[in-house]
């Protein structure tokens, strides 16, 4: 049996796919006349756009230079797509502002426009992530050892602030298989301060089915937290 290689993309992309799908559905059903629902939906959308922007920046900063150095020319396509994504994210933020500023039928129409443009941006992003997980990984696996890939991964994690980490865990934890989830929290337990590890477990907990939570706790052999 071949040993699975260190995958820099798989887990975070699972989280982003869930976050994108959930947010698209929320924008689609948003009652634009309900201020509380509008505010919470647009806040979720803005959090998604921020995370997508940060994610692309991490890849530009930590992964693309390695691709470029080991096999020149292999990072250009993805970097250009990230630039295009930044433009789309700016446009989506403007559309969210327009929904907030509008009223009545104009606001409902602005929300439908936003929903459609978000769907198109997500469609492109899904294709883009597939390219990264196949073409970029093929280069990384041919040119780098797993130790080198772990170092890149750890440098990315070190650059992430507490708020972004909580956001990532909120979406990534429920999107992984039990095996992947256990590996994620096992690594956090080994590398992060105990209070950070416990805080992130609590971030994940409300979003995990009891079955998945039990598998996780059993898997990492951590004492169950207070109920």
Can you give the binding site for Fe ion, defined by CB under 5 A?
59
As measured in angstroms, the least distance from the Cβ of 62 to Fe ion is 12
Closer to Fe ion by CB, 12 or 173: give it.
12
Residue 166 falls in which region: left (phi positive, over 0), alpha (psi -120 to 50) or beta: alpha
Closer to Fe ion by CB, 59 or 212: give it.
59
Closer to Fe ion by CB, 109 or 156: give it.
156
In this structure, what DSSP letter does residue 62 have? I
Closer to Fe ion by CB, 78 or 144: give it.
78
As measured in angstroms, the least distance from the Cβ of 148 to Fe ion is 19
Give every CB contact of residue 54 below 8 A, 6+ residues apart in sequence: 160, 164
Give every CB contact of residue 140 below 8 A, 6+ residues apart in sequence: 8, 63, 66, 67, 149
Q: Are 189 and 220 in contact (CB under 8 A)?
A: yes
Closer to Fe ion by CB, 60 or 100: give it.
60
Torsion of CA 201, 207, 213, 219, to 10 degrees: -50
As measured in angstroms, the least distance from the Cβ of 123 to Fe ion is 15
Closer to Fe ion by CB, 126 or 192: give it.
126
Closest CA to 48 of 121, 102, 136: 121
Q: Coil, strand or helix: which one is 128?
A: helix
Give the residue nearest to Fe ion (CB).
59
- Between the two ends of the chain, the Cα-to-Cα distance in Å is 41
As measured in angstroms, the least distance from the Cβ of 55 to Fe ion is 7
As measured in angstroms, the least distance from the Cβ of 1 to Fe ion is 30
Closest CA to 16 of 85, 113, 115, 110: 85
Q: Are 192 and 154 in contact (CB under 8 A)?
A: no
As measured in angstroms, the least distance from the Cβ of 128 to Fe ion is 6
């Amino acid at each position: 049996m071949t040993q699975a290689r260190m995958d820099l993309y798989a887990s975070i992309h699972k989280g982003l796919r869930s976050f994108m799908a959930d947010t698209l559905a929320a924008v689609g059903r948003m009652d634009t006349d309900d201020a509380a629902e509008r505010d919470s939906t647009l806040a979720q959308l803005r959090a998604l756009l921020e995370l997508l922007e940060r994610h692309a920046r991490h890849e530009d900063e930590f992964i693309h230079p390695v691709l470029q150095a080991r096999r020149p020319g292999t990072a250009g396509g993805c970097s250009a797509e990230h630039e295009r994504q930044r433009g789309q994210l700016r446009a989506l933020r403007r559309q969210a502002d327009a929904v907030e500023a509008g009223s009545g039928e104009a606001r409902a129409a602005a929300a439908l426009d936003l929903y459609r443009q978000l769907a198109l941006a997500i469609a492109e992003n899904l294709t883009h992530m597939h390219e990264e997980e196949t073409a970029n990984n093929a280069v990384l696996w041919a040119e780098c050892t797993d130790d080198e890939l772990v170092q890149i991964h750890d440098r990315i994690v070190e650059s992430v602030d507490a708020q972004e980490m909580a956001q990532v865990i909120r979406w990534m934890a429920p999107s992984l298989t039990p095996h992947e989830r256990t590996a994620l929290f096992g690594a956090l337990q080994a590398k992060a301060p105990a209070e950070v590890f416990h805080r992130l477990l609590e971030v994940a907990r409300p979003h995990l089915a009891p079955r998945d939570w039990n598998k996780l706790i059993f898997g990492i052999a951590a004492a169950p937290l207070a109920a």
